[in-house]
Structure 1
Amino acid sequence: MNLPVHILTEGAQTFQLAKLKENRLTYDFDQIWAYFECKGKLLFHENFKLHKTDKDLLLKLCAYFLNDHQLCKQFNIDPNKGILLTGPVGCGKTSFMKLLSTITPKKKTFDLIPARNITFEFSNQGFSVIEKYGNYKSLCFDDLGVEPNGRHFGAECNVMGEVLLSRYDLFVNHKVKTHATTNLNAQELENRYGNRVRSRMREMMNLIPFGSSSSDKRK
């Protein structure tokens, strides 16, 4: 049985994430929250739980990925840009992005790739890797900014800086979105990649930060 896109099942549990009225979906955030708690236990570990302190942030991210233009406008989020999700180590950035990719099961939203994997790939394969990730897919670079520089046959390269410049060209010319998670603040990102890259990141991504008091949920 094929359920509508706004009704998801996990095992014996069914979650109606939205109600359809006059050809318009109205989402139920409490149902989305319950679905994420269930899905998180399956994806990560049985003790996974969401924290109420992150509720507002998760609502913003849901508004974006569910393409709720009214809520996006309320939160000052540009739905045509990507997402830069920032916060301290262990606050849940990667988990949130993985969960968010599951609420639109019939639409591939993005591929999530650790930034460090790309630099390791560059060290093995060279500059073709930069072209590879400057492609037409929507991507999310996980843990951006803490990866090492790549080195291929003695040539050192700030690989992710070059990839981000390529992604900017995709954004401008083809409206392809780029997302990222990072532990770094704006100044640290500029120090890592330079002013040119940081300026383009501002242009092609919405900044959505965890609160500075967010705890390390891995403890």
Structure 2
Amino acid sequence: MDNPSKITEGGVEYSLGKFDGKSLLYDFPKILIYLDAKGKMLFGQKFRVYDEDREILLKLCYYFIRDKENCASYGIDVDKGILLSGPVGSGKTTLMKLLRHLVPLQRPYEMIPSRNVTFSFNHLGYRTIEDYGNAKFFCFDDLGVEPPGRFYGKDLNVMGEVLLSRYELFLQTNKKLKTHATTNLSADELEERYGHRVRSRMRELFNLIAFDEATGDKRK
């Protein structure tokens, strides 16, 4: 890719800003045009960028393009992952699926429904904790509403264990490992679900970016 300020999708070239040969100066309105077009390709013609989501999108874009100065103004650490929280249907999963396309040169993350991790544990046992507590980049979707794990009669809070494993690896890799998640739960509900120890590790793993609680269901 000779010019990182341009992305071609479906034969159309989109500009994300200006590239002077060394650094890329992003242009947020141009980014929104690209995200709207890419969103329609991924999710169909009904997809659109909602005006009320612009603040959330701005924070996420600053994070993904690693704009440290603007991230700092929002209290966002570019070395941590993203925990995107909000009501059901607010568009969390859609945005996390979409925004990884904004930075094609960065290492991509895989979207995994949290319930699938539990189902895997119920079938395969503790190997699942190793499989997801590894050096891959993941975004765990719908964190906190997955069923409890059970293997040979023993119960386990599977996603809690996965997050603890990924936290240890986060420290070992000098904060280069990325873990993201989406959730419908509040911070208090997450602590109730996973316990204080996991909640405190989550604070170190994630930047919390939250939709307004009054955000409507976009799927209706």
Query: If the length of structure 2 is used for normalisation, what is the TM-score?
Result: 0.95
Match of 2:95 in 1: 96
Deviation at 1:80, TM superposition (A): 1.1
Query: How far apart are residue 3 of structure 1 and its match?
Result: 5.2
* TM-score, normalization by structure 1: 0.96
SS in 2 for 1:172: helix
Cα distance between partner residues in 2 of 1:110 and 1:86: 18
Size of the aligned set, in residue pairs, is 218
Tell whether the 8 Å contact from 2:3 to 2:19 is kept in structure 1 after alignment.
no
Q: Secondary structure at the match of 2:182?
A: strand
Partner of 1:203: 204
Q: Distance in 2 between matches of 1:11 and 1:3?
A: 18
Distance 2:150 2:188 in 1: 25
Distance (whole Å) between structure 2 residues aligned to residue 53 and residue 24 of structure 1: 30
1:155-174 to 2 correspondence within 5 Å? 155-174=154-173
Residues 55 and 195 of structure 1, relative CA distance in 2, 3 Å threshold: same
- Measure, in 2, the Cα distance between the counterparts of 1:45 and 1:116: 26
Task: Kindly indicate whether residue 192 of structure 2 is the aligned counterpart of residue 191 of structure 1.
Answer: yes
Structure 1 segments, 4+ long, off by >4 Å, are: none
C-alpha distance in 2 between matches for 1:28 and 1:140: 26
Instruction: Kindly report the root-mean-square deviation, in angstroms, between the aligned alpha carbons of the 2 structures.
Output: 1.2
The aligned residue for residue 218 of structure 1 is 219
Q: Residue 44 of structure 2 corresponds to which residue in structure 1?
A: 45
The percentage of aligned residue pairs carrying the same residue is 54
C-alpha distance in structure 1 between counterparts of 2:19 and 2:117, whole Å: 41
Deviations 1:30-78 (A, max 9, x none): 1111111111111112111110111011010010111111111111111
Instruction: Give the Cα separation in 2 of the matches to 1:57 and 1:96.
Output: 10
Structure 2 residues without counterparts, runs of 5 or longer? none
CA-CA distance at 1:139 after TM superposition: 1.3
- Three-state SS of the structure 2 residue aligned to 1:101 is helix
2:3 corresponds in structure 1 to 4
Q: 1:8 aligns to what SS in structure 2?
A: strand
What letter corresponds to residue 218 of structure 2 in structure 1? K
SS of structure 1 residue aligned to 2:45: coil
Report the residue type matching 1:180 in the other structure.
A
Structure 1: gaps spanning 5 or more residues? none
More off after superposition, 103-112 vs 45-54: 103-112
Question: Matches of residues 20-169 of structure 1 in structure 2 within 5 Å?
Answer: 20-21=19-20, 23-169=22-168
CA distance in 1 between counterparts of 2:42 and 2:193 reads 32
